[in-house]
Amino acid sequence: METKKWLVEDIHLSYPQIKEAAEWIKANEVVAFPTETVYGLGANAYSSEAVGKIFKAKGRPSDNPLIIHISTMEQLEMLVTDIPETAKKLINKFWPGPLTIVLNKGVGIADNVTAGLSTVAIRMPDHPIALAIISEANLPIAAPSANVSGKPSPTTAQHVETDLNGKIAGIVDGGATGVGLESTVVDCTTEVPMILRPGGVTREQLEEVIGLVTVDPALEEDGQAPKSPGLKYKHYAPNAKLVLVEGSTAFLQKQVFLAKDSGKKVGVLTTNENKVNYEADVILPCGTAGNLQSVAQHLYEVLRKFDEYELDVIYSETFPEVGVGKAVMNRLTKAAGGDILSEFRV
């Protein structure tokens, strides 16, 4: 199929494009659009036929449920059976924004959206284009990240095109996204809410609003099944093997030399501050170490950029697990399939 592109530089001037994209979603086609986190691939959440097209285009396993995107609180009430106090407080504070809330599922939602679960994940994105498309379609829109399953999430329309051109009806190009990593997913169906996926909103920020929040033990320990089905899959991976290196720049450089000695083409993922310390085939800085937000914002772009070189292995620095650093390390660890070398642990 031919994938239509709508360029939206000014939301007011480009309103006809937004309306057309919304019409296509109403007609049960799938359309990619920007949110404040990453690009989403949207479809009518009430139509299992439309939602089925998302799974097919992404090659997504059918047991991995989707997040429903809404633009009004009335839509939320129609999608769930009840809204606990904790969820209300989080919604007041963080919506629209990069927080997805898991609640008990109401009636009407297509079964494939929730992969048969009795709960549903919902968020109100903080992006004018996303909100305008949802309002114009006048529908809740199911939307996973608009990448082929397993690849890094797209932070530009070009990334979406690389992965899905010819496989989806259209792409709304609204420029680069801001946060760069996906939303935090928090389950509010339990007495004490639990973070299922770290993201743009940190645990500290959640606890300021509702007190104690737990974290899915599978995020911290090996061998446990994560409560968020999507997290059991390898994800965000570049084509070359990715290895995280904990320790000094000298220790990382040593790994590079060892790999080069055995004839490998080697990349290094570092920061603007540290890039001068390395010698390798390709050195890509990902934001500044002093600003973890900037690392989050550029992470997927840099992981995708490595695919432009035919590398055998990429060594990546690690980042402090504070604030959004938790989400950065969660994604990097997944991308590396858990492969970590440490100067401190042998």
Q: How many positions of this chain bind Mg ion (CB under 5 A)?
A: 1
Helices assigned H by DSSP within 43-127: 48-58, 73-79, 85-94
Taking the least distance from each CB to ligand TXA, the nearer of 148 and 289 is: 148
Q: What minimum distance in Å lies between the beta carbon of 64 and Mg ion?
A: 9
| Closest alpha carbon to 142 in 22, 46, 29 | 46
The reply on whether position 149 binds Mg ion by CB under 5 A is no
Sole binder of ligand TXA in the list 185, 213, 219, 335 (CB under 6 A): 185
Sole binder of ligand TXA in the list 155, 228, 271, 316 (CB under 6 A): 228
Taking the least distance from each CB to ligand TXA, the nearer of 96 and 287 is: 96
- Span 136-175, contacts to ligand TXA by CB under 6 A: 143-145
Give the chain's end-to-end CA distance (angstroms, integer).
52
> 218 touches which of ligand TXA, Mg ion, none (CB within 5 to 8 A by kind)?
none
The reply on whether position 145 binds Mg ion by CB under 5 A is yes
State the maximum Cα–Cα separation within the chain, in Å, rounded to a whole number.
62
Neighbours of 74 (CB within 10 A): 8
State the binding string over 31-70 for ligand TXA (x if CB under 6 A, else -). ----x-xx-x-----------------------xxxx---
* Burial zone of 344 (CB within 10 Å; 0-12 exposed, 13-18 middle, 19+ buried): exposed
Of 27-35, 62-70, 139-147, 267-275: span binding Mg ion (CB under 5 A):
139-147
Rama region for 115: left / alpha / beta (φ>0; ψ in -120 to 50; rest): left
The reply on whether position 37 binds Mg ion by CB under 5 A is no
| Closest alpha carbon to 183 in 202, 204, 205 | 202
At residue 274, what are phi and psi to the nearest 5 degrees?
A: -95, -10
At residue 159, what are phi and psi to the nearest 5 degrees?
A: -60, -45
Determine contact, residues 285/213, Cβ cutoff 8 Å. no
- Span 43-62, contacts to Mg ion by CB under 5 A: none
Rama region for 48: left / alpha / beta (φ>0; ψ in -120 to 50; rest): alpha
> 253 touches which of Mg ion, ligand TXA, none (CB within 5 to 8 A by kind)?
none
Of 131-139, 178-186, 214-222, 244-252: span binding ligand TXA (CB under 6 A):
178-186
- Span 95-134, contacts to ligand TXA by CB under 6 A: 98, 100, 102, 114, 117, 119-121, 125
CA atoms of 343 and 346, how far apart (whole Å): 7
Taking the least distance from each CB to ligand TXA, the nearer of 199 and 325 is: 199
Going by the DSSP 8-state scheme, the letter that residue 80 receives in this structure is B
The reply on whether position 35 binds Mg ion by CB under 5 A is no
**Contact set with ligand TXA (CB under 6 A):** 35, 37-38, 40, 64-67, 98, 100, 102, 114, 117, 119-121, 125, 143-145, 182-183, 185, 196-197, 228-231
